[in-house]
Amino acid sequence: MPAKRRSAPIRVLIAKPGLDGHDRGAKVVARALRDAGMEVIYAGLRQTPEEIVRAAIEEDVDLVGLSILSGAHMALFPKVLRLLKKEHPNGIKVFAGGIIPDEDARRLKRMGVRAIFGPGASLEEIVRTAEKLARPSS
Amino acid sequence: MTRRAPLPPAARAIVKGDLRALARTISAVENGDPSADPILRAIYPRTGKVPVIGLTGPLGVGKSSLVSALVGHLRGLGRAVGVVAVDPSSPFSGGSVLGDRIRLERAPGDTGVFFRSMASRGSVGGVAAATRETARLLDAAGFDVILIETVGSGQVDLAIREVASTRVVVLVPHLGDEVQTLKAGLFEIADVFCVNKSDLPGAGSAERDLAELVSLGGGRDGWSPPIVATSTVTPSGIDRLWAAIESHQRFLDSSGGRLSGERLRLKQEIVGRVRDEVAAELAERLDKDPGLRDLLDRVVARTLDPRSAADRLLAASRRGR
């Protein structure tokens, strides 16, 4: 008996790689994505790139959102991107937020981070971008 | 026993331990995607051998921390553990924040743990069905123990009642007097009681209150639920909690309760699926079938009452389609 196909909500993993403990931004974004109807898996603080990639695979997410304020983004993000590509070649897209200088942001985008939000980015913009990244056709 | 047919590729991948295939199939189950059907059908004969343990209880009693501690304990015993953590979806946006992973601690590179967060998605039968089928997929993937964690209220709680063979109800000191425990409706489903946060003052009296309630007639079929004090801070009692769960599992085997419980749960599953399908089909016909659309119009206009309309809809569905 074929079950009716229900519309699948967008699933997003929000994680904080590295050692800074400031997760207010990540929580505000998680909540905004929830209010837009997404299923947000909140992985919390101090996640290693390996843990983040493992969680993304187990949770079968469409997107991974990384939040970082410690300045270690150039050490950690490329590792997440590399591992994700290796473990999940069909592509889970990555976006990021935090304190990331413009020059670094340009480099990270060249490496494959799809969008980067600094302080002052609006929640509407983040939600819209996440929707577009997860469902490019709609 | 069903004869083992060759497995379709996705099912073979799951049985071989491909975590991505497992994760994708769980999504298909959650989404009602028919691509999951042949996989579930193929793996079914291989499942049903591992214990499915449910943990439930009010918000904030430390269920996620307990699950993490149990995972650690079981890994120490060399058992592979699959976890499904269910949280409610927002009735307003349909979205959810699933935060049970935060507590999970595991050794780097440990493939003996698989953790999946699941949102209830607002359908009473849906979450129980998705949880049950996910447990089956984890079973087929070779996990030795399946843990299911849900908030102990309303529809989400059904997932535990209809899926787990041992149900652990988690409470904490100062939740209220014993009358609260009677009211909550959690009492009847407990095979094991866990008083968590036992490092806090009041734990002793919470245990005594529970013991008194159990002595008044808790449990079913000759099983009296044990009460275990735990703390994930100190930590303590996790080994005793697992021992209590195992002792209930042994009781299920020795009393014959495993088979009768399983029979009841499978009956609920079959009937539940039919109910959901038929209800969805009838709802659609009520909107689209010219012969039936009139029924709803008349109820809206109050020239027909809902009970009579339901009778006619049912009669129409029995006449065939």
Under the banding of pLDDT at 50, 70 and 90, the label for residue B92 is confident
Question: Mind telling me how many Å the CA of A3 is from chain B's nearest CA?
Answer: 6
Question: Mind telling me how many Å the CA of B117 is from chain A's nearest CA?
Answer: 7
Token pair recorded at residue A114 = 């799809």
One-letter identity of residue B219: G
Note the pLDDT tens digit of each residue in A86-138.
Answer: 987 778 999 999 999 999 999 999 999 999 999 989 999 999 999 999 998 76
Residue-level pLDDT at B1: 47
Alpha-carbon torsion angle B118, B124, B130, B132, nearest 10 = 110
Q: Is residue B7 helix, strand or coil?
A: coil
**Burial label, A115 (beta-carbon count in 10 A; 0-12, 13-18, 19+):** buried
Token pair recorded at residue B157 = 């709680």
DSSP, res A39: E
Q: Does residue B220 register a pLDDT over 80?
A: no
Edge-to-edge strand ranges of the sheet holding B227-229: B113-119, B81-87, B145-151, B52-57, B166-171, B192-195, B227-229
Residues 6+ away with beta carbon under 8 Å from B217? none
Q: Is residue B306 helix, strand or coil?
A: helix
Residue-level pLDDT at B187: 73
- List the one residue out of B190, B78, B206 whose CA is nearest residue B143: B78
Asked if A41 and B115 come within 8 Å (Cβ–Cβ), the reply is: no
DSSP characters over B10-36? HHHHHHTT-HHHHHHHHHHHHHT-GGG
Distance CA B32, CA B133 (A): 11
Size of interface A-B (CB pairs under 8 A): 96
Question: Mind telling me how many Å the CA of B100 is from chain A's nearest CA?
Answer: 8
Q: What percent of chain B has pLDDT over 70?
A: 90
Q: How big is chain B, counted in residues?
A: 321
DSSP characters over A63-119? EEEEEE-SS-HHHHHHHHHHHHHHH-TT--EEEEEES--HHHHHHHHHHTEEEEE-T
C-beta atoms surrounding A52 within 10 Å = 23
Residue-level pLDDT at B156: 54
CB B298 within 8 A of CB B309: yes
Residue-level pLDDT at A88: 78
Distance CA B309, CA B58 (A): 39
Note the pLDDT tens digit of each residue in A40-86.
Answer: 999 988 899 999 999 999 999 999 999 998 888 998 999 999 999 99
Sign of the alpha-carbon torsion through A114, A117, A123, A124: negative
* Interchain contact A63–B (C-beta under 8 A): no
- Considering only CB atoms, B32 lies closest to which of A5, A34, A60, namely A5
- Considering only CB atoms, A37 lies closest to which of B95, B115, B273, namely B95
* Interchain contact A1–B (C-beta under 8 A): yes
Question: Mind telling me how many Å the CA of B177 is from chain A's nearest CA?
Answer: 34
Percent helix / strand / coil, chain B, rounded to 5: 55, 15, 30
Write down the residue that tokens 């990639």 correspond to: A53
Under the banding of pLDDT at 50, 70 and 90, the label for residue B152 is low
Sign of the alpha-carbon torsion through B316, B129, B152, B85: negative
User: Nearest residue on chain B to A49, judged by CA atoms?
Assistant: B108
Q: Is residue A29 helix, strand or coil?
A: helix
Asked if A9 and B33 come within 8 Å (Cβ–Cβ), the reply is: no
Distance CA A38, CA A52 (A): 19
Q: Does residue B286 register a pLDDT over 70?
A: yes
Asked if A33 and B95 come within 8 Å (Cβ–Cβ), the reply is: yes
Tell me the β-bridge partners of B168: B55, B192
Asked if B121 and A6 come within 8 Å (Cβ–Cβ), the reply is: yes
- List the one residue out of B114, B176, B172 whose CA is nearest residue B148: B114
Distance CA A41, CA B99 (A): 6
Q: What is the mean pLDDT of residues B56-76?
A: 92
- List the one residue out of B35, B3, B37, B39 whose CA is nearest residue B18: B39
∠ CA(B126), CA(B128), CA(B129), 5° rounding? Answer: 65
* Interchain contact A127–B (C-beta under 8 A): no
Q: What is the mean pLDDT of residues A5-33?
A: 88
CA distances from B181 to A79, B193, B227 (A): 49, 11, 14
Q: Considering chain B, what is the average pLDDT of its residues?
A: 88
Element (H, E) at B226: none
Residue-level pLDDT at B4: 63
